[in-house]
Amino acid sequence: MPVPGSFAVDGRDGRVGVVVGLTVGHEEAFVQLRPPGGGVLWVCPRHALRAAPPSAVLAARVRELNWQSRMP
């Protein structure tokens, strides 16, 4: 299980997200992710989650910083 606040890749579609938490379903565990910089949460089955490569983490952090710089 990745640590909340870390970056992970949803192996189903390749989206990079920030780990928010864990949800336990009826038969399977899901990881809650949010897009870098904010947005709508989505869930990914834990078995489909991959560690984000350094290049994806760097790009996600840049997106977050850009998003934060536009906030009042």
- Could you report the per-residue pLDDT of 12-44, keeping only the tens digit for each? 999 999 999 988 877 788 999 999 878 899 999
For the chain, count helices (H), then strands (E).
1, 5
Report the distance separating Cα 37 and Cα 64, nearest Å. 4
pLDDT at res. 40: 94
Average pLDDT over all residues of the chain:
88
pLDDT at res. 7: 92
pLDDT at res. 63: 82
Cβ atoms of 64 and 16 closer than 8 Å: no
pLDDT at res. 33: 96
pLDDT at res. 17: 93
pLDDT at res. 71: 75
